[in-house]
Amino acid sequence: MRRPTTSSASDQTTATSLFFREKALWQFERGYRMGDLRRLVRQYGRAQDKVFPSGNFTRNGTPSGTYGTQVAFPVVDAELNNPNFHGCLDQKA
């Protein structure tokens, strides 16, 4: 079992960064990361290009492409058939 980090944060920004980093490590592959990344941009005022991955990425050691700028999940076609759905107003992080 991994022990939590015991270092003390010197200010609020460092404490927030430490919290979300530890949370990301503990909840790896559980599907909570997108909400946390968007929360860092919206509520904590972080720059989108500093929070979300950017640049080139590799898959299995082979260069595969470049990260895009989309920070919200697309609406699936099945939801577009819903008469109560009126569109997403905010596509920003």
Is 38 a member of any domain?
Answer: yes
Assigned domain for 85 exists: no
In a domain, 37, yes or no: yes
Residue 68 lies in a domain: yes
Q: Identify whether 3 is part of a domain.
A: no
Helix (H, G, I), strand (E, B) or coil at 16: helix
Length of the chain: 93
Beta strand 56-59 pairing with 62-66: antiparallel
Domain enclosing residue 73, as ranges: 12-80
Residue 21 covered by a domain: yes
pLDDT number for residue 59: 86
Output the pLDDT for position 46. Answer: 93
Q: Is residue 88 part of a domain?
A: no
pLDDT at 92: 73
- Establish if 2 belongs to a structural domain: no
Number of separate domains in the chain: 1
pLDDT lower than 70: segments of the chain: 1-9, 89, 93
Tokens, residue 39:
């929360």
Amino acid identity, position 69: T
| C-alpha distances in Å from residue 86, one per residue of 46, 71, 74 | 29, 20, 14
- H helix runs in the chain, sequence order: 12-26, 33-42, 48-51, 77-80
pLDDT value of residue 80: 82
pLDDT, position 67: 87
